[in-house]
Amino acid sequence: MPKIIILNVGTAHALGDHTSSTHPITRSGWRHAWFAERGDIIVSPVAVDGDFLRYLAGTMGFDPDTVTVLSRERLVTDEFLMSDDVLGELGELTADGAAWQLMPCFWTQGVADLAARLGIDSRAGLAFAAQRGSDLLNRKTHFRQFAAGAGLPLPEGSVARTPYELARAIERHLPLTGTVIVKQDDGAGGLGNLTLTRGETGPLPGSRETLKVGDDLPALADEVWAALADELSHGLVVESYHSSTRQFYLEYVIGDDGVPTFLDSGEIRLRPDADPGSTELVWVGLDIPAALPPALSAQAVHHSLRLAELTAQVGYRGHINIDAIATASGDLVFNEVNARWGGGLVAHDICERLLGSGYADRHVAATVRDVPPAPLDAVLRTLREERLHFSRDSSEGVFVLACDPSLVTPMECLVVGATRDRVREIEAQLRKALA
């Protein structure tokens, strides 16, 4: 069954500019071209370079000419999907009688409308999507409500709907650890989070900047409110901030039958910015699978499955990612849920297709997001020369996950090996070879 891969990345995120396709998060969407299989259509905010498509198709073993990329160099919004232009082209492309499937990052109203227009409307979850049901799930405030209802361990915290409530909530949750995190309702990747502390104001995981809490809390609350609240926001989340030893996610896909299937887990790697003046940490990538101690792992699966099941009961069908941390004292605390593809999904998909299901018991995968941009052909030549490219024989090596032909956005690689140490070793060789 061929599928339409819809890279509507960023449409439900607070990326500021809602139509341009130049934001790094949008451009990193190239990695999702790896979802393609023979005969698929990719609806993308950015054109997919022909060389890149040939490279990934060659790696995965299908004919790249069977894949169609539909792009107009603008964000894949609901309006874009329902435009006459796009509807017309997709209508022609899918008029072959095949049983087309949709694979969107977000199940938006526009995706449901598109399904109806293309006659792909038998799928469960479309009625929920048509009412913007994912909005119920992709909100930080709602996460705390659903998670509290499902009994997940949460940081001490609450929901604030006005600057006054924000000041009260900061006052209330600051004493526990001396730091609170304030989360934008609809933020992505920590871009919408600020930390407020009575201690040092250095960069902290999950936060774009750490501010000092002084004597004038109402003024600080007003400042934070102005920075984070927006027209579509339902409020802000305020939580006691815990330093973490692990930050990880668990990803599920909820099938048409409403049953969640566990897909993958991963840990988030961060490092200080080379620029000492930077207010935030650099996201290096994801280590898949998350290497959790046994009891914590069991708790994490137990609780995240409860939330995934609740999400299914509410009516959502599709991918769901649940983020958690292990605190310095070893406690499990859940942070947020995202009803969309996770950042590690494409790595999981590649590994499962090339290494088989259960690959995570025998292999480790690491995405590396901060590789300096370089021309794809030069990178591939270097990988071959240095024998670093992924080999089916050795089941280890490097993939170029995403590559910006204009050399603006950093390159993203996927490194696979038998152990995490081995993966780090290959990564070091990769960085050296490309330096």
User: Both tokens of residue 279?
Assistant: 């207010």
Nearer to a second copy, 204 or 236 (CB): 236
Taking the complex as a whole, how short is the minimal distance between the CB of residue 127 and a second copy, in angstroms? 4
The answer to whether the beta carbons of residues 29 and 4 sit under 8 Å apart is no
Interacting stretch for a second copy, rule CB under 8 A, among 26-34, 130-138, 283-291, 391-399? 130-138
- 232 belongs to the binding site for a second copy (CB under 8 A): yes
Residue reference for tokens 């009575």: 198
Among 71, 101, 158, 429, binds a second copy (CB under 8 A): 158
The Cα 113–Cα 218 span in angstroms is 44
Amino acid at 94: T
Q: Which pair of tokens denotes residue 384?
A: 């071959």
Q: Which of 52, 252, 316, 390 binds a second copy (CB under 8 A)?
A: 316
198 binds a second copy (CB under 8 A): no
Sign of CA dihedral 106, 109, 110, 115: positive
Question: Are residues 330 and 297 in contact, defined by beta-carbon separation less than 8 angstroms?
Answer: no
And the tokens for 379? 């990178």
Q: What is the 3-state secondary structure (H, E, C) of 149-181?
A: HHCCCCCCEEEECCHHHHHHHHHHHHHHHCEEE
DSSP H/E element including 318: strand 318-327
Task: Report, in Å, the least distance between residue 268 CB and a second copy.
Answer: 25
Decide if residue 374 touches a second copy (CB under 8 A). no
Sheet of strand 3-6, all strands in order from the earlier edge strand to the far edge:
68-71, 41-44, 3-6, 101-104
**Measured between alpha carbons, how far is 159 from 148 in angstroms, rounded to an integer?**
12
Could you say which of 45, 133, 203, 397 contacts a second copy (CB under 8 A)? 133
- Binding segment for a second copy (CB under 8 A), chosen from 199-207, 220-228, 312-320, 386-394, is 312-320
Give whichever of 159 and 434 is closer to a second copy, judged by the CB atom: 159
Q: How far is the CB of 109 from a second copy (least distance, A)?
A: 7
Output the smallest distance, CB 302 to a second copy, in A: 17
Taking CB under 8 A as the rule, does residue 132 contact a second copy? yes
Smallest gap, in angstroms, from Cβ of residue 195 to a second copy?
A: 20
Among 74, 161, 198, 353, binds a second copy (CB under 8 A): 161
The residues in 108-127 that bind a second copy, with binding defined as CB under 8 A, are: 109, 127
- 188 class by beta-carbon count within 10 Å (0-12 exposed, 13-18 middle, 19+ buried): middle
Q: Which of 145, 278, 394, 406 binds a second copy (CB under 8 A)?
A: 145
Segment contacting a second copy by CB under 8 A, of 260-268, 273-281, 313-321, 401-409: 313-321
| Smallest distance, a second copy to C-beta of residue 435, A | 47
Mask: binding to a second copy, 292-311, rule CB under 8 A, as x and -?
Answer: ------------------x-
Distance CA 403, CA 359 (A): 25
Could you give the CA distance from residue 428 to residue 423 in angstroms, rounded to a whole number? 9
Residues ≥6 apart with Cβ < 8 Å to 307:
146, 147, 150, 152, 322, 334, 337
How many residues make contact with a second copy (CB under 8 A)?
31
Distance in angstroms (rounded) separating the CA atoms of residues 163 and 62: 55
Shortest Å distance, C-beta 301 to a second copy: 20
Positive or negative CA dihedral for 14, 19, 21, 26?
A: positive
Bridge partners of residue 427, in order along the sequence: none
Local structure of 103: helix, strand or coil: strand
Q: Which is nearer to a second copy, 142 or 389 (CB)?
A: 142
Region from 1-9, 143-151, 379-387, 401-409 binding a second copy, contact rule CB under 8 A: 143-151
Task: Draw the binding track, 5-44, toward a second copy (x: CB under 8 A; -: no contact).
Answer: ----------------------------------------
Q: Which residue has the tokens 């207010």?
A: 279
Closest Cα partner for 321 from 249, 400, 393?
249
**Between 149 and 272, CB nearer to a second copy:** 149
Q: Which is nearer to a second copy, 95 or 232 (CB)?
A: 232
How is residue 225 annotated by DSSP? H
- One residue of 27, 31, 144, 363 binding a second copy per CB under 8 A: 144
Closest CA to 117 of 100, 103, 133, 137: 100
Among 14, 150, 301, 433, the residue binding a second copy under the rule CB under 8 A is 150
Binding interface with a second copy (CB under 8 A): 109, 127-128, 130-133, 135-136, 141-142, 144-146, 148-151, 158-159, 161-162, 231-232, 234-235, 310, 313-316
